[in-house]
Every structure is written in structure tokens, then in C-alpha cells.
Structure 1
Amino acid sequence: MRQRVHDRTVARNAVESIASAGEDRFAVPARRDGQTNSDDSRAIVKTGTTILGVVGADVAVLAADTRASLGGQFVTNQRARKIEPVDDRMAVAFAGSVSDAQSFVRRLRADLQLYKLRHGRPASVETAATVAGDLVRRGPYRILELVLAGVDDAPALYQIGRGGSVMRTEYAASGSGMQLAYGALENAYEPDLEVTAIRSLACSVVYSATERDTASGDGTTLATVTDDGVDLETFDTPEAAVAETSEEVA
């Protein structure tokens, strides 16, 4: 009898270990001390991604690479979309567990739609960011970082941390390529840039990150959020994204 119980326990632990190891992830940087978070029993996240957001004069832009990997060592998807519209004039970019991201986007869309039905008007970008932060803090989304962009009275950008923190900012980045992205953003960003300049800047920053961060790459997704809505584009390579958006500026 004891042997059967032991066998079942070993088998269950093996299945849980395989399931945990087999989950694709977009990148959230691991803790520097190499330890897991106290509220997260899963393996340390070591996969890669680059997501970013920038605010301009009348626009908010999100950009991301399209690579998803397993354990940071095997590319599982070269066309992963890491940016999703969540309302008519709002979109979110995400870094972290793929399953967490998919579940989170569905929940946030539902909550924003419910807000619209209850109040007779769309939620503001600030309200949406607060809702997103609450979901991350209270929900099961332990490995997820977000950049939310939207336009109501004016364009706005919010960075939502893994613990549910919400911070408004003019530009933001996350993922394994975030240090490279921040360096490029701080060097080139100027307040009140026009739509074409913001789009070109965002694509250039993604390109810079993919040049040095081996866990980011393949293609580029670009979301342009204006009063007219969310325009989502995908480019086959970061170079193609830079070339096309640079021509718009010229």
C-alpha cells in the first residue's frame, strides 16, 4: 500500500515537472539572485522578448518582436503576436507566460466591455490601467509584465509591473531586451513627436534590441493608437519595419 502511494506521488510530481518545463514564455527578466519569487513555484523565467511603448503628440505606439522561445534556448514560434487591442482606442503589449497573457487579454477585454455597459461610456486609459494592475496583482498572472497604450482626451502610456504596480510614463520597455531598448529610447526620445516619427523610433528601438539580445528577434509588430482606433501591423523582419517607417518620415 505504501509503495502504491509513493508511486502515485512520484508520477504526479513528474507530470507537474514536465508541464511546467514545457510552457512557452515571452520574456520577463529573472531575479538577479537566481531565485524564484516566493509566490511562484514554477521554474525561473529565462526566455526573451522586447516590448515597448512611446507617447507622441497625438498618438501612442506599442512595438514588439515576434519571437517566442522555450527556456530561452529553443524558438517555438517566430510569429508570436505580443500586442493585442483591448478596446476601441487601447492596446496592450505583454511579456511573460504565453498562457497568462492569453487569459489576461480575454479578462481585460471583458472587464472593459462590462464597464462600458454599466457606465454608458468607455473606460479611460487610466481606468483601464488600474483594472489591469488589479488583475495582475490579484489574479493568477504571476509571470506577466505589460505596457498599455491608449487615447481618450490625450494619448497615454502606462507600465504595469509583475506585482500589479501602475506607472504613467512617456516611454517604457520590458522583457530581456529592455536594457537595450531603454538606452535607445533615452537617446532618441523627444516630447510631442509626430505619428511618423514615433512609429519610426519604436521600430528602430526594437531593431536595436534584437541586434544584441539573442532571445528577441524574427519580426516586428507595431500598434499605432490614435483617435481613429488601433492600427496593428506586422513586419517580417525588424529591418523591414525600420525601412518602411523611415520612409514615412522622409
Structure 2
Amino acid sequence: MVGTQDPTRYELGTPPRLDKELSGDAQTYDTGTTTVGIRTDEGVVLGTDRRASLGGRFVANKDVVKVEQVHPTAAVTISGSVGGAQAYTRQLRAEASLYENRRGEAMNMQGLSTLAGNLLRGLPVGIVLGGVDEEGSHLYQVDGAGGVLVEDQYTATGSGMQIATGTLEDRFDPEGGIEDAQLAAGDAIAAASERDTASGNGFVLAVVTEDGVEVDAYKSTEEVR
């Protein structure tokens, strides 16, 4: 956990993007978390741990799914306030669905990433967006100020991002496919969970291809191999 030790404040991991005061004695569940994204020629792999905490010190839930499908061929990982993240993913999914119903075709990834940034602005949430369209696979990191960064090959966010990034630097194979990306993502989250108290309890991997989104939960990296 970074930033304040006060459990009544939002935390978004490392680095902190927003730090909003809550009124009174209200407490918020947050996903301090470790999230990763890897882009390959075949598609995108998104991964997160499964822990939610209260103030970064108490494990509130050990079976949280922090990957959400928001588009026929796109998904996002979430970190930050659980309530804010849930409201955000519902709105993003609804807007993408509305676009498809009106236009008769799914939104492309450039449009979806712009929408994702616009909707996220000001929320205590950070996301990684991965998707596939006619131009291929795409990976974006979106912050709480609405900024959208196009990631070339891989990224990591959340309180365990430093350890996860180091693992990805070592394990990522630029010539590899989806299965290699799954292994690298699992190893990165597992490594971060060893040291980051806000991450743990296994991980969830989402495989995003032109055929859709498949989400599976794992207790350890051995289940991926």
C-alpha cells in the first residue's frame, strides 16, 4: 500500500493517481491489487490477483474478479475503489453496447479507449484495457485523470506493479503466443503477491481474441502450465 495509512481514504496502488477524502467514518473496499496486460499477435492476455482489502490492511474478500468484459472482443482490469470500478464497468459496457446497437457494428479499439478515458476521468479507479479489432490486438493503460497510454507489448498497474513489471521484463517473449503470455502474466502476478500485501489469493486471466473473451481463475501458476 502506498500513500496514507488512513483506511477511510481511497488508494490506487503505486503510483497513487487519486486520493479522495471520504466523509465521516465511512470505509471503502479497495483493490490495491496487481494487474497486468500482455499483447500478442494472436490477442491480449489480461490478469489480476483476487484479493480485495479494507484500508490495505484487512483482507475483505479472497475471490474477487477484477477483470470485466466490456465489449464483444475487449475487457478491462480494475484497481482502486470497488464501488467506483463496478459503476464504471457497467457504464462502459452499456455505452459500447449502445454504440453497437445504433451503428450495427462493434466499436473499434481506438474509439473504445477514448470512451474509456472520458468515462474514467475523476474516478478513484485505474484500468488496463485490452481488445482486438480489424486492425489487430491493442493494449491501453487508462488513469483516473482520463489519460490513455497505448502500450506496445505489456504493462502492469496497481500496488504490485513494480515487482510484476520486473517479472514481465524477464519472462515476456516477443515472439510468443497466447499460451506464453498466460504463463508470463501468471508468473508476474504470483511474484507480486509474494511481497505486496494488497495482492494475493490466486489470480484471474482473461484471454481476448477475435473470437471473444474467456475468463478463468487459477489458484497457482502450476494450473496454467
How does the TM-score come out when normalised to structure 1? 0.79
Aligned to 1:4: none
Greater share of helix:
1
Q: How far apart, CA to CA, are the structure 2 residues paired with 1:31 and 1:232?
A: 28
Q: Is the 8 A contact 2:31 2:82 kept in 1?
A: no
Q: CA deviation at 1:99?
A: 0.3
CA RMSD of superposed structures (Å):
2.3
SS of residue in 2 equivalent to 1:218: coil
Structure richer in strand, relative to its length: 2
Distance 1:60 1:97, change over 3 A: same
Tell me if the contact between 2:13 and 2:160 (Cα under 8 Å) persists in the aligned partners: no
Identity %: 38
| Residue 22 (structure 2) aligns with | 42
CA distance in structure 2 between the partners assigned to 1:192 and 1:219 by the alignment:
27
Deviation by residue 1:62-117 (Cα, 9 ceiling, x = unmatched): 00000000011111000011001111111000100000000001100111011112
Q: Tell me, yes or no, if structure 1 residue 28 matches structure 2 residue 13.
A: yes
Aligned residue in 1 for 2:159: 176
Q: Distance in 2 between matches of 1:148 and 1:97?
A: 17
AA partner of residue 244 (structure 1) = E
Q: CA deviation at 1:186?
A: 1.6
- 1:16-165 counterparts in 2 under 5 A? 21=8, 27-29=12-14, 31=16, 37=19, 40-42=20-22, 48-137=32-121, 141=123, 143-153=124-134, 154-165=136-147
Report the number of matched residues: 213
TM-superposed deviation, 1:145:
0.5
Determine if contact 1:146/1:161 at 8 Å carries over to the other structure.
yes
Change (3 A) 1:31 1:92: closer
- Bigger CA radius of gyration: 1
Runs of 4 or more consecutive aligned structure 1 residues displaced over 4 Å after TM superposition: none
- Please list every run of 5 or more consecutive structure 2 residues that lacks an aligned counterpart in the other structure: 1-6
Contact 1:26 1:69 in 2 (8 A): no
Displacement of 1:127: 1.0
Aligned AA (1:29): T
1:196-211 paired onto structure 2 within 5 Å: 196-211=179-194
Runs of at least 5 residues in structure 1 that lack an aligned partner in the other structure: 1-19
